[in-house]
Amino acid sequence: MNIIDGKAVSAEVKAKIREEIERDKLEVGLAVIIVGNDQASRVYVNNKKKACEVCGIKSYEYALPEDTTEQELLELVNTLNNDGKVNGILCQLPLPKHLNEERVIESISPLKDVDAFHAVNVGKIMIGNYAFLPCTPAGVMELIHSTGTEVSGKECVVIGRSNIVGKPMAMLLLHENATVTICHSRTKNLAEVCRRADILVSAVGRADFVTADMVKDGAVVIDVGMNRNAENKLCGDVKYDEVAPKCSYITPVPGGVGPMTIAMLMKNTLMAKKLQSNA
């Protein structure tokens, strides 16, 4: 069993980004909007700012009060859409309840939508003609590639069907010629389906959900979950100690997929800069 070190792979990705920005003397900017004072969101935003620093990307933070109106938020997005210094716009989710997330995401220019949540970018991923990829699935693909595992022809199972991870994850595996099954809460014989997987990606958000009887010997297991267990310790979807001995490769939580999500956001921001320079 080999542990896939997300910190090491993400550090390589960020180093390459910095190298390219310095070599080509690029000015790259990412605007991050955070509304309200959700503690988890604040941690994520701070981590994104640190990653920008490492990569040589300028970060612009817009911290708005909890009671910001939708109109005010949409006006800010519009201003950033028209700001040449800003190549990527990210609105940290979840937003306070009174704001319509879908409307806010759709107001971001598809050319600056570095989360790849805009319907235009989602559609492009579907047909395989994309510039940006959602950061977490893109990070998962990088981790799989880092193991030297050939995706083509493999049986892949994705547990979870969210728009942010599950669905785009399945598309990326499909684009690399895998045979993909998406499982969810209504899937019958879940353990049996998962046991077929050469590559198993769990993005279900339930602690210790994936047990050893669900994993094929020698499988590559990628754990996207970020949960707290009964002892309030950070853990993934996979019952790690039980599952790890069966795997050829497995990601830990923390230190697996998490660092990759932010590294891919940096990669998307650099890509946005290039697209806008050619537009």
Is 115 a residue of the active site? yes
- Of 252, 275, 245, 277, residue with least CA distance to 116: 275
The whole-angstrom separation of Cα 15 and Cα 38 is 30
Which one from 14, 48, 154, 267 is the annotated catalytic residue? 48
Q: Is the alpha carbon torsion for 164, 32, 112, 23 positive or negative?
A: negative
Distance, first Cα to last Cα, the chain = 46
Structure tokens at 45: 């935003």
- Of 259, 258, 221, 260, residue with least CA distance to 240: 221
The whole-angstrom separation of Cα 141 and Cα 120 is 22
Which one from 14, 112, 113, 115 is the annotated catalytic residue? 115
CA 196 to each of CA 143, 229, 247: distance values in angstroms, whole numbers, following the listed order: 21, 27, 13
Is 92 a residue of the active site? yes
Helix (DSSP H) and strand (DSSP E) numbers for the chain:
10, 11
- Residues designated as active site: 48, 92, 115
